[in-house]
Copies of this chain bind each other. A is one copy, B any other.
């Protein structure tokens, strides 16, 4: 039994020995092949192949001081909106030769801290978090490690971390404005839990019922299709009738739509419906869902650039505001005058 066989994995030294060169030369063919004579290089490359040598990332990292990955803490993987964000983030990060580690926080600040610690522990060079409401321990960790961290899905230039996101208040304002413009005065608002969720809170704050002379009824539910269904049931059972339903996310709107269909309530003939997000499903449902498009793909790319730049230059990036815009489809209609 030779050395080659009982070792788990060949290292630089093994390759060097096998190729009859020094470790420095092997390192060179790995990192600066042009600095090595072709003939030598070939010898080394052949040894690399036969020994099935794969350089150790850890050893590399320890020298360069870099791990080349960033962590993303997302509240859920279940909502397609986050999937879209992560896809763009991962893709753009790759341009900076950075990998992405995803951690699910299940919307729980305590879990978020835990996972953030793990991320830091395994060497994350940067972090992407959602919103600006976090456990103080997280801020502490970020501070202690001086870890480049971007807060997404939110816009607040005064926040202690740079934010890359849209104006949540503007999003709901845009939506309510549209419904009011269509003549709706009695509107049901369906939203996710307010606890621990600054995005939902901000969307709430964006509503200006007085300015639109509107009467709003609020329905809190879990952000999921089922949550939408339940809210719709509650709306139908409520004493006060509404002419439109505004959902703080399209998932909710989809659930509402299904439940209304189940109750033979026609959209938009009997009830108008509007969402926020602009998911793929929203464009193709019947009727199409009028919604506010949240630029999450751009948010992913922008966040990637921001955190990569920060890591590279050590200079904190400026916050970026992405502007949401309305997508008009068939789900609402103007109320009949009189």
Contact = CB atoms under 8 A, between A and B. Distances in A.
A234 interface: no
Interface string A92-106: 001000011111100
A215 interface: no
A101 B104 contact: no
Contacts of A65: 8
B87 A284 contact: no
A9 B299 CA distance: 30
Nearest to A53: B144
A166 interface: no
Contacts of A83: 77-78, 80, 83
A99 B87 contact: no
A213 interface: no
A145 interface: yes
Interface residues of A, number: 58
Contact of A57 (B123, B146, B224, B229): B123
Interface stretch (A18-26, A148-156, A253-261): A253-261
A285 interface: yes
Given A102-B100, A286-B258, A144 B78 contact: no
Contacts of A228: 284
B101 A69 contact: yes
A228 B286 CA distance: 13
Contacts of A104: 87, 90-91
Interface of A: 8-9, 52, 54-59, 61-62, 65, 67-69, 76-78, 80, 83-84, 86-87, 90-91, 94, 99-104, 118-123, 144-146, 224-226, 228-229, 254-255, 258-259, 261-262, 280-281, 283-286
